[in-house]
Structure 1
Amino acid sequence: MSTQTQTETFVLHNRASPEPVVHEPAQEPEPELSPKWRYPKVLSAGMSFFVAGVNDGSLGSLIPYVIRSYGIGTDMVAVIAKRYGTTFAGWLVAALSNSTICQYLDLGPILAVGAALQILAHVLRTWMPPFGLYVVTFFLASLGQAYNDTHANTFVSSLRGAHRWLGFIHAMYMAGCLVSPFVATAVASANQDSQWALFYLFPLGLGVANLALLGVSFWDRMALAPKRRRHVAGMSGGVAAESSGKSALMEITVTLRTPGVWLLSLFFFFFLGATITAGGWMVEYLVNIRNGNVKDMGYVPAGFYGGGFLGRLILAEPTHRLGERRMIFIYAMLCVGLQLVFWLVPNIITEAVAVSLLGFFSGPFFATGISVGSKIFAPELRSSAIAFVFVLGQIGGSIFPALTGIIASRVGVQVLQPMLVGLLGAAGVSWLVLPKDAGLHRD
């Protein structure tokens, strides 16, 4: 997801602290942490995104096996698995509960809760549970990712030179998406009777390592939220709970009244709609429309994710230097052109190359959006605002894959191509709607 702006001016009045103070007034920064702990924390944030990428990147390769194992159609996969219904519900619950949980927990415990929820989801998946329970695991995984992604983004976006660190952690997400199709396809195709559910042992092990790394690197943030520690003394439990509840509700209200939340969400609405639809349905498209072999086509998403990985690392600095508004729009137009090649040239090799380049040029979108948001939103609203941007953007990531699957069940999966062209074009146009704040273009 995307990094473009300059992040070195992220928190002008909060530079003394390399870490975000969750829901703290900007004039009360925490003491500066030793630089030696800054890098382990960034690495830990990157690991969280890698685990999320492994989860998200695997489903496109597993869909053909899920359909055949459970005896369902593309409409059921769309409505349940592809970020609609249960998955979107996880992001929604996280957005609504984010302000409240920040009243009670500091950064470390919130990240740990997110990691633990993802571990639980993978434990339930490894034995190929009944379809209903398999569906529920998407809620658990998305809820855990929402807590991890939101607060890792908030932490990293407050660091000096944040555009580079955001590029790194979001590249780690794409690295997870790159690795997972290879592992998922290898496991799923290893036997004549596919044991595809055993793939989830891989993200389960990574999830345990992620939780351990979070515990070590954020050891100094494993406590009650600082605000609550200051105010809880001398208050009865009932009064404290009432005060926290009002504060959380007020923060949600102020966040939703911020125009930048809705404008940035519009960009993510179309962008996530395009990338999640492409990642989830391109294998089924190549198998059914281009007559590709299901085992070979399972590796094609790796080209898309590999391109995204390189794009997030290589294009972060040029995008930052040349102007995020201009460059993201140029990238969006290039993506539309590449998508037209994918659609109109009936050659699997050409399409695979086009998909890889599409991933490369769309790579900076997500981290850049977060970078811009971190400048638009006030520090005390940042984690709440980013959470709502994620969940509102996830509406696009939920509706469009589902809509693609529902239409595909009636007219064929070739509907994928016009859907992607329209979404990528809309993402480019919606980027131009964002505020033209001169502060977004300063180092």
Structure 2
Amino acid sequence: MPIEAAVISQPRLAHTASCELNNLDQPSASRSSSDTQRQSKPVIPKVQVLAAGFSFFCAGVDGATLGPLLPYIIQSFSINAGEVAVIYACIFAGWVIAAVTNLFLTSKFSFSALLTLGATLQLLAQCLRPWATKPLFFVSFTVQAIGMGYQDTHANTWAGGLPQAHRCLGFIHAMFALGCLAGPLTATAIATATGSGHSQKNGIEAWRMGYFQLIGIHALNLICMLLAFGNPLKQRKTREPIVHLAPATATADTEILERRRSKEALRDVSQLLRMKSFWLIGGFYLFNCGAWSAAGGWVVEYLVAHRNGALDKVGYVPTGFWAGLFLGRLLLAEPTHRFGEQRSIMCLSVICLLFHLLFWLVPNLVAGAVAFSFTGFFFGPFFATGMSVASRLFPRKIQSTALGLVFVLAQAGAAIFPSITGLIATRVGVQVLQPVILGLIIGGAVCWWFIPKVPDHIDGSSD
């Protein structure tokens, strides 16, 4: 996906050119000194990073809202735990569609256009949910996932190429965790404001009212994309110089160029799929994101059914997990970077495993909730650190494609394993959640152990 590389490089080239013009009359030693200073302190596009962070916040709110609402969804649509798996299957289908179409859309549309398309699809999905019947409600999760696949994948890859990428990635993924923190709080508060969550206002059940807040923030997300990254209709891909030709010749050349781009995309993917590093980092994300999503999505149902918790109380337990995840992404990003990213994640995996065992084996609701929160805290730096390492595993030519597909694998794990958990829970009960999460944490740690060693500080500094 070369568009991200083009977007990243343009500001740097423009900045360098303007600095050279301003310094023509300076002594060469002075220019050399100032050039070195500029290279050591590259400029981070703060407005765009904030906009990308807000898009991840929206994704976090949407993803974490599902867990607290599952008991209401099960009652409203008269479905069982196995049928809940259909929702996660719809999410997975959306990510598969996004992964396949992303390869070709990237060669045809601008970076801004893809971000705008993703934001628009997510807004459309939210607009359906307050009124949708069961089939349309389920389909809305596919539409939502496609939108995330376009917007967040490209925003993530773009941030991974910025100066001090570990901090930029840490910020945008902390915003995702902040959204996950806000989602259960607001969803539970709105659903329980009128008692059962099934009382109606203007023909809409109380638990569905929470989706109106999602309509608002996703509308703001679309506006942010347009303001921060520009008008998508005015930005066209210009990977090769434009030559004024006769209409017939121009049309033929355009068709040849499009075929060439499609072949290049397929060739890049073929090269990527032959790399062991891709499957290892992909497995790390597949298992760990599956663990986070299964835990956040099923813990309320688990505490109600297996620990006899009151729904209006345990509905807030996922908030502790997401609060821990948010704080972990903010506070542990820098220590992880300085201590050594690959070594740090291995140590943190062991700590997460211990806290999960505490949550599983201690039959106390409060102690379990605290252990669950600490699990989220130590999971915090996993995503951004993994992306930082992944950006150094792959050749620059296929880096954008690689990071995009790794991101899709992460979201696939977040959809597949909660779905599998639901299917198994239908037969043996929701207590299956605990061994499933345990296995996923171990699987992620094993994949991380075998990832090839990469330099810890690619930018040459620890600042």
Common fold, TM-score beyond 0.5?
A: yes
Distance 1:37 1:327 in 2: 26
Aligned mate of 1:207, from 218, 227, 230: 218
The letter of the residue matching 1:136 is V
Q: How does 1:312-327 map to 2 (within 5 A)?
A: 312-327=329-344
Aligned mate of 2:55, from 44, 48, 59: 48
Q: Which moved more, 1:165-174 or 1:247-256?
A: 247-256
Q: Which runs of 5+ in 2 are unaligned?
A: 19-41, 200-204
The letter of the residue matching 2:122 is Q
Is 1:408 the counterpart of 2:414? The answer is: no
Aligned mate of 2:269, from 246, 252, 271: 252
The letter of the residue matching 2:170 is G
- The answer to whether the Cα contact below 8 Å between 1:125 and 1:200 also exists between their aligned partners in 2 is yes
- The answer to whether the Cα contact below 8 Å between 2:180 and 2:319 also exists between their aligned partners in 1 is yes
Residue 225 of structure 1 corresponds to: 237
Q: How does 1:254-333 map to 2 (within 5 A)?
A: 254-333=271-350
Residue 81 of structure 1 corresponds to: 87
The letter of the residue matching 2:95 is W
Distance 2:317 2:238 in 1: 47
Q: Which runs of 5+ in 1 are unaligned?
A: 1-19
The letter of the residue matching 1:81 is I
Residue 433 of structure 1 corresponds to: 450
How many angstroms does 1:36 deviate by? 8.2
How many angstroms does 1:203 deviate by? 1.2
How many angstroms does 1:357 deviate by? 0.5
Q: 1:362 to 1:159 in 2, by over 3 A?
A: same
How many angstroms does 1:231 deviate by? 7.9
Is 1:136 the counterpart of 2:148? The answer is: no
Residue 420 of structure 1 corresponds to: 437
Q: Deviations over 1:32-80 (max 9, x none)?
A: 46988810000000001000001001000000000000000001102x1
| Partner SS state of residue 453, structure 2 | coil
Distance 2:115 2:8 in 1: 22
- The answer to whether the Cα contact below 8 Å between 1:305 and 1:359 also exists between their aligned partners in 2 is yes
Residue 159 of structure 1 corresponds to: 162
| Partner SS state of residue 103, structure 1 | coil
How many angstroms does 1:250 deviate by? 2.2
- The answer to whether the Cα contact below 8 Å between 1:22 and 1:102 also exists between their aligned partners in 2 is no
Distance 1:308 1:268 in 2: 15
| Partner SS state of residue 239, structure 2 | helix
Residue 13 of structure 2 corresponds to: 31
How many angstroms does 1:420 deviate by? 1.2
TM-score for both structures, normalised by structure 1: 0.89
How many angstroms does 1:333 deviate by? 0.5
Q: 1:36 to 1:315 in 2, by over 3 A?
A: closer
Distance 1:238 1:406 in 2: 47
Distance 1:358 1:28 in 2: 41
| Partner SS state of residue 366, structure 2 | helix
Q: Which structure has the higher relative contact order (CA within 8 Å, separation 6+)? A: 1
| Partner SS state of residue 105, structure 1 | coil
| Partner SS state of residue 335, structure 2 | helix
How many angstroms does 1:410 deviate by? 1.5
Residue 62 of structure 1 corresponds to: 69
Q: How does 1:338-377 map to 2 (within 5 A)?
A: 338-377=355-394
Aligned mate of 1:183, from 170, 176, 186: 186
Q: Deviations over 1:112-170 (max 9, x none)?
A: 1010000000001122x111111111111111111111111111111111101111000
How many angstroms does 1:375 deviate by? 1.4
Q: Deviations over 1:372-411 (max 9, x none)?
A: 1111123332232122112333443333212211111111
The structure with more radius of gyration: 2
Distance 1:399 1:315 in 2: 28
TM-score for both structures, normalised by structure 2: 0.85
Distance 1:377 1:74 in 2: 40
- The answer to whether the Cα contact below 8 Å between 2:323 and 2:373 also exists between their aligned partners in 1 is yes
- The answer to whether the Cα contact below 8 Å between 2:60 and 2:180 also exists between their aligned partners in 1 is yes
Q: Which moved more, 1:299-308 or 1:149-158?
A: 149-158
Query: Percent of aligned positions with the same letter in both sequences?
Result: 43
Is 1:90 the counterpart of 2:90? The answer is: no
The letter of the residue matching 1:320 is H
Distance 1:293 1:27 in 2: 54
Aligned mate of 1:392, from 409, 421, 424: 409
Residue 198 of structure 1 corresponds to: 209
Distance 1:393 1:156 in 2: 17
Q: 1:25 to 1:149 in 2, by over 3 A?
A: closer
- The answer to whether the Cα contact below 8 Å between 1:272 and 1:393 also exists between their aligned partners in 2 is yes
Distance 1:369 1:440 in 2: 14
Distance 1:27 1:124 in 2: 39
Q: 1:27 to 1:152 in 2, by over 3 A?
A: closer
Distance 2:352 2:160 in 1: 26
| Partner SS state of residue 346, structure 1 | coil
Q: Deviations over 1:83-111 (max 9, x none)?
A: xx221111111111222111111211111
Distance 1:389 1:73 in 2: 32
> How many residue pairs end up in the alignment?
420
